[in-house]
Chains A and B, each alone.
Chain A
């Protein structure tokens, strides 16, 4: 009896742990970086999924492979292409947020080593609740349209 309930508790707790590991509240996926020649800054793109019922925001980014990472937003309002730094990007509860070309992106500056297509870039995003979300972004050629062809 005792052994059975212990086994059950064990199974349940393992199940619970596995469940938590499979499905974190916020996940970053389909990440990629547009690699430009030389030391030019590169745009990084990723999709965030928020499974929790809490509205959050992305408030920061850092990568060990770059000297500096910033969250930017591009726009072509009024026929002018421009880019601005943003402090926070809203990530709705039970919703998703895409960093995509022509909009939000993580601007990766001062590569510590030459980055080439196929490399994996690690970017850690900081959420408004203090949590950090690790993301792996695939380095893609300059003229790529997304994470895959």
Chain B
């Protein structure tokens, strides 16, 4: 299997898992999610990385906050800014509940993305965004954990290169449990709707 077929197969599996989980949970009073419910099908939020202030952080540091995780890199001028801008608009629409949400932007370009570069980048989008960097191995392990993938493309000849990366957006509840999965084309209304539910789950527990 080529890597791309492999990735596609994984996405299909993931979607099938989401549908299966939806069916399994029908009996209980579940929140009516509009995004793909992945509860029980993806592992809890767990990593050892460095944040954009240069501090070592783990998944546990974000307990108490709903975490919205997205893989990308700063030399990505189009798709990553589009997603980060959408998340910014969504958090603004969420109102005060957005204080209980953190956007975790994980760099898939460890060679160029330093904490300082990440700091300037994420803050240009939203003050509730955190940039996370780590070694190639650490980021690969994290991507694998969430069945995500990234590939450094060949150098364009001027020392610049692109990194193709999964565009999925992962939502974790305040206890660090993986709950939802969205694509960047998901409607903002649906994400706002589900974030309202996710942040209210958190305040009730």
Binding site for B on A (CB under 8 A): 34, 36-38, 40-43, 68, 72, 74, 76, 78-83, 85, 101-102, 105, 107, 109, 141-145
Contacts and interface: CB of A to CB of B under 8 A. Distances in A.
Interface string B151-178: 0010010101010111110000000000
B132 interface: no
Contacts of B165: 80-82
Given A37-B121, A40-B121, A142-B125, A80 B78 contact: no
Given A78-B8, A80-B167, A81-B164, 17 more contacts: A37-B124, A40-B74, A41-B160, A42-B77, A74-B78, A79-B168, A81-B184, A82-B165, A83-B76, A83-B162, A101-B78, A105-B77, A141-B124, A142-B85, A142-B124, A143-B84, A143-B125
Determine chain B's interface SS by DSSP, over half rule.
mixed
Interface residues of B, number: 38
B121 A79 contact: no
Question: Across chains A and B, which 5 residue pairs bring their CB atoms closest together, nearest first?
Answer: A142-B124, A37-B120, A82-B164, A81-B167, A101-B82
Contacts of B8: 78-79
B89 interface: yes
Interface of B: 4, 7-8, 11, 72, 74-82, 84-85, 88-89, 117, 120-121, 124-126, 149, 153, 156, 158, 160, 162, 164-168, 183-185
